[in-house]
Amino acid sequence: MTPAEKAGADAILEIQDLRLHFPIKAGLLKKTVGYVKAVDGVSFDVYAGETVGLVGESGSGKTTIGRCIVRLYKPTTGSMHFRTEAGPVDIAQLDKRELLPIRRDIQMLFQDPNSSLNARIRVGDIIAEPLEIHAIGTADERRSRVEDLLEQVGLGAEMFNRFPHQLSGGQRQRVGVARALSIEPRFVICDEPVSALDVSVQAQVLNLLADLQEELGLTYVFIAHDLSVVEYISDRVMVMYLGKLMETAPTRKIFEKPAHPYTEALLNSIPKRAPGGHRKRFVLTGDIPSPVNPPAGCVFHTRCQYAVEICRTETPPLKPLPEDPETSVACHLAEEVTLQPYYTAEERRNLESSRA
């Protein structure tokens, strides 16, 4: 799907000013002494059928957003309107009982297939569990559905009676995929689904996710720290830092024309082959600050090489670039600084032709 087509598509999920502040309790009376601002005012839309990549360093809040959408966490404030047949529903406000039907539509694929599967339950039963919870079909129907799913994710029905420990890492992640898809969701949060896998197996799972998306018309929010994986699978990328969105743009634009200094820094950090010697690059200094006391003004100013006075005092809003409304950026200097891309348009063409 091209960005133009997407602009015409309806948003399946509209997130407005989402915040999740975890209280820090201390002392005998468990008084709240502060808050970890894991997600701090994030707004974005997700369109049906697309893959949105969510990237950022650890502690940036990307996993927390994913968990808010499936309501493993209840957001502190903000709204998350999810489109259903009966019209948009604000998931943030639902209680446990009201969430049940929504959870048929929104599922989650977890990072570590070793710890997200119950070691004492057979693969077939793991995949059938969501069907049971949602009381779908008879026992026989569920069984045949699970066998179909096993085939669909490339495992084969003979895996039905195996236990997770009898499977390899890649096979386990396929079980995770089958479980997430068993109740035919429309929307899947993929939280680092391939980062625990070997390269050759990672590619198998990425292709599987792409095939299933096409076949079933799924919408993905794909959380990952590996930018090359995100580039491969995503239509759009959202860059997060300290609980805030720094930039959102179509994937190619992120790499070809980054608009936020933090995006530039991330691109510059990607290990890259430099034929004929080692490349010189600038490296982001220091660590991500604590989300308990995020810096005033722009949260990135403490590590930003372009920061000026206004960055230290005023928080820049996320807004579309005048010359390129597909890109939104939260930076005071967005229209002033020229940032180094991962590749130039010309390099990109060379890359494409050289690997054709």
Closest CA to 60 of 44, 80, 39, 77: 39
8 A C-beta contact, residue 92 and residue 244 = no
240-259: contacts with another protein (CB under 8 A): 255
Nearer to another protein by Cβ, of 14 and 256: the residue is: 256
CB-based contacts of 116-119 (< 8 A; 24+ apart in sequence): 116/176, 117/164, 117/172, 117/175, 117/176, 118/164, 119/163, 119/164, 119/165
Of 23-31, 92-100, 120-128, 205-213, which part binds another protein (CB under 8 A)?
A: 205-213
State yes or no: residue 305 binds another protein (CB under 8 A). no
Binding mask 38-67 for another protein (x = CB under 8 A): -------------------xx---------
Nearest approach, Cβ of residue 245 and another protein (Å): 18
Question: How far is 145 from 227, CA to CA, in rounded Å?
Answer: 35
State yes or no: residue 353 binds another protein (CB under 8 A). no
Question: How far is 183 from 133, CA to CA, in rounded Å?
Answer: 10
State yes or no: residue 93 binds another protein (CB under 8 A). no
Nearer to another protein by Cβ, of 13 and 299: the residue is: 299
In single-letter form, the type of residue at position 31 comes to K
Question: Which listed residue (278, 323, 336, 338) binds another protein by CB under 8 A?
Answer: 278
- Residue 90: CB atoms within 10 A of its CB come to 13
DSSP 104: T
Closest CA to 120 of 178, 164, 182: 164
State yes or no: residue 111 binds another protein (CB under 8 A). no
Nearer to another protein by Cβ, of 229 and 331: the residue is: 229
State yes or no: residue 112 binds another protein (CB under 8 A). no
Helix then strand then coil, in percent of the chain rounded to 5, is 35, 25, 40
Nearer to another protein by Cβ, of 143 and 162: the residue is: 162
In single-letter form, the type of residue at position 238 comes to M
State yes or no: residue 351 binds another protein (CB under 8 A). yes
State yes or no: residue 338 binds another protein (CB under 8 A). no
280-299: contacts with another protein (CB under 8 A): 281, 283-285, 287-288
Question: Which listed residue (199, 215, 322, 346) binds another protein by CB under 8 A?
Answer: 199
Q: Is residue 99 within a helix (H) or strand (E), and if so which, with residue range?
A: helix 96-103
136-175: contacts with another protein (CB under 8 A): 168-171
How many chain residues interact with another protein (CB under 8 A)?
Answer: 51
User: Could you give the 3-state DSSP secondary structure of residue 312?
Assistant: helix
Site residues (CB under 8 A) for another protein?
57-58, 168-171, 198-204, 206-207, 210, 225-229, 231-233, 255, 265-266, 268-275, 278-279, 281, 283-285, 287-288, 342-343, 347-348, 351-352, 355-356
